[in-house]
Amino acid sequence: MIEHRLVEAQPGLVFDISVAGAADAPLVLMLHGFAVSRHLYDAQLPALAQAGYFAAAPNQRGYSAGARPDPANVALYDIELLLDDAMAFTRVLGHGDGRFHLVGHDWGGSLAWEIASRHPERLASLTMLSRPHPGAFARALRDDPEQPIRSQHHKAFLAPDAVPKLLADDARWLRTRHAANGIPARATEKHLAVIGNPEAMEAALAWYRARGTVHRPINRITVPTLFIWGDADDTVGRMAAEGTADFIDAPYRFEVLPGVGHYAADQMPERVNALMLEHLALHGA
């Protein structure tokens, strides 16, 4: 059973977190990306709990109404603060400075790569959904003519009028994109309950605005890694996905899901669960 908690992970910032499983079991922290929410992992939480893990999926900074600094001040959404939030979750969930399993998707994947690069001693395993290693992504932006087209929404999100455009006509842009990537309508409604309002959407786009168009390099990864990529992903091409292997110095598995889009956990939850559980079992905390 999934439990909803309100947790003050940083002073004055109260986050919505979905948890499942025994609190003293090995922690699996799952970080969502853009245009979705903690509900991306609703199918993974009970499966992980049943397998003997303590699974936690927070609405991240700006997505949680109680952890939404003024998005006009994009410095409050700097990646260093987002990383601090992620590491703080492990402490407030009762796992101190111990080792844990980390799962990341999209922007949450960007944070997960950074954490794996900086704190490999903290991670038992890394599971990545749809987000290639930054080195592979930068190379694809340079060498793959399609990747800049796939990523052009990043620049569009920097425009001052991006939020009203995204939410116009009952969030038609988001609904269309979700449907094109195989997200069931019921899941889209859960995500829109979190981000389908101007305040939350401004905060979600503050992540992009704080970063701008610069994707900074990170170190090679020394944590056992599973990378799940759908070959119908509209934002990540094959060159970036396949190229991730060149930046991993640890046991590595690259799993391609035919016909699956950018949100595999929503579109094909049973397959994602099976792959994740197999990976975690191989690399215990």
Using DSSP's 3-state secondary structure scheme, residue 225 falls into strand
Distance CA 103, CA 131 (A): 11
Which domains does the chain possess? 3-282 (3.40.50.1820)
Per-residue pLDDT of the chain (285 residues; tens, 9 = 90+): 899 999 999 999 999 999 999 999 999 999 999 999 999 999 999 999 999 999 999 999 999 999 999 999 999 999 999 999 999 999 999 999 899 999 999 999 999 999 999 999 999 999 999 999 999 999 999 999 999 888 887 788 999 999 999 999 999 999 999 999 999 999 999 999 999 999 999 999 999 999 865 567 899 999 999 999 999 999 999 999 999 999 999 999 999 999 999 999 999 999 999 999 999 999 986
Q: Do residues 54 and 26 lie in contact, with contact meaning Cβ atoms separated by under 8 Å?
A: yes
Tokens at 36, concatenated: 């979705």
Q: Do residues 104 and 31 lie in contact, with contact meaning Cβ atoms separated by under 8 Å?
A: yes
Segment (H or E) for 26: none
Q: Looking at the DSSP assignment, which residues form a beta bridge with residue 226?
A: 127, 253
**Beta carbons within 8 Å of 35's beta carbon, 6+ residues apart:** 106, 174, 177, 178, 191, 195, 204
Using DSSP's 3-state secondary structure scheme, residue 217 falls into coil
pLDDT of res. 212: 66
- Determine the distance from the C-alpha atom of residue 158 to the mean position of all C-alpha atoms in its chain, rounded to a whole number: 20
Distance CA 244, CA 254 (A): 9
**Beta carbons within 8 Å of 107's beta carbon, 6+ residues apart:** 31, 32, 33, 34, 60, 131, 207
